[in-house]
Amino acid sequence: MAIILDGAKRAAEIKKEIRQKVHKLLYRPGLAVIQVGEDPASQIYVHNKKRDCEECGIVCKDYQLSESVLEYDIVELVAELNTQKDIDGILVQLPLPHDLDPWPVLQAIASSKDVDGFTIYNAGRLAIGEPTIVPCTPTGILDLLQEYRIPVKGAHCVIVSRSNIVGKPLAHLLLAQGATVTICHSETGDLASHTRRADILISAAGVPGLITADMLTRCTAIVDVGITRGKDGKLRGDVCFEEVQEKVSFITPVPGGVGPMTRAILLRNVLQAAQRRQRGL
C-alpha cells in the first residue's frame, strides 16, 4: 500500500513558516488578485487564496471584473498595480473568459510582482538555471518530493503535461536536480510505453482516470496534478487512485495533494517578493 503524500499537512507547515516571517517584516505583504467573470471554480479558488492570505498575515485585494471587460482595461489595471508600493504580488486568475487572450495580460505584470512566475523574464531565468520566481505548482511538487525523501537525482521522471504552468517549468526544476526527464502530452503515441519506464510520474493532463495500474511497472511515486469535478460533484484526478496505490510506493490524493501545496507556494512567493522590496531590490 502506497504512502500518501499529504500535501495539506506540508502546506500547513509552510504557512506556519510564512506567518512567522511575515511578523518580522516592517509591513504586511500585499497580493492583488484579478478575477474576470463569475466562473464558479475560479470563485472557489479565489476564496481559498484570500483565506490563506488572511491566515498568514498577507493583505489580499480582490479585483472582480465583468466578463465583458476589454483586454486593454485589464492591462491598464495591471499597469496601475505595478506602481502601487503596497502590492508585492499580482495574480490573474485563470482561465480568462474565452474571448480574452491571457498572454498580453500576464506579460504586463512586472517581473518582480509576477508571483505565478509566468512572465517571459521569470520563465527565461528558470530555463537557463537562474530562477527568481518559479511557478507555484512545480515548486510545490518538488517540495513534496523532498519532504518525503523521494530521490530525484538520477531518477527517470515522466511528466504528462507540456503546459507553461506545470509541464515545462517542472521539467527545468527536475533537470536542475539531476533527473532524466521525459515530457508526454496529448500527441504522444503509446503513452503507457513511457509511463512504464518512470521512477516518478507526474500527471497534469486533466483527464480523469488517464493513468491506470497496467501503465506502471517500476514507478516509485505518482504525483497527480489533474483535478476534474464529475457530474456527481466529486473531484477526481488523472490517476485511478484505488488500483494504482497498490502498485506504487508513494502517491498524492485528489484533493489534498498538490492543490494545497500550490496555494502555499504562492504565499511563499508573495513573502519573498515583499522581502526583496524591504531590502530595496
- Predicted local distance difference test score (pLDDT) of residue 89: 98
pLDDT in tens, 251-278: 999 999 999 999 999 999 999 999 998 8
* β 235-236/228-229 pair status: antiparallel
Say if residue 281's pLDDT is above 70.
no
Rounded to the nearest integer, the mean pLDDT of the chain is 95
Nearest C-alpha neighbor of 159 from the set 250, 226, 214 = 226
**Which residues have a Cβ under 8 Å from the Cβ of 185 and sit 6 or more positions away?**
160, 161, 162, 167, 205
- C-beta separation of 231 from 204 below 8 A: no
Is 245 in contact with 213 (CB distance < 8 Å)?
Answer: no
pLDDT value, residue 219: 87
pLDDT of 235: 87
The grid cell for 245 is 496505490
- 71 phi/psi in degrees, rounded to 5: -55, -40
In one-letter notation, the amino acid at residue 84 is Q
Q: Which residues is 63 bridged to in the sheet?
A: 34
pLDDT at position 38, please?
84
Of residues 227 and 142, which shows the higher confidence score?
A: 142
Strands 89-92 and 30-36: parallel
**Residues 27-54: tens digit of each pLDDT:** 999 999 999 998 877 888 888 999 999 9
pLDDT at 154: 97
Residue 18 pLDDT exceeds 90: yes
pTM above threshold 0.75? yes
Looking at residue 44, its pLDDT comes to 82
pLDDT in tens, 78-110: 999 999 999 999 999 998 998 899 999 999 999
Per-residue model confidence (pLDDT) at position 45: 84
* Nearest by Cα to 118 from 102, 105, 101, 135: 135
Burial (CB count within 10 angstroms: exposed 0-12, middle 13-18, buried 19+), residue 38: exposed
Average pLDDT on 166-171 reads: 98
Residues with active-site annotation: 49, 93, 116
CB of 258 closer than 8 Å to CB of 45:
no
Percent of the chain with pLDDT over 90: 88
Of all residues in the chain, what percent carry a pLDDT higher than 70? 100
Ordered structural domains, the chain, with CATH? 28-111 (3.40.50.10860), 136-259 (3.40.50.720)
Mean of pLDDT values over 154-163: 97
Cell 500535501 belongs to which residue?
7
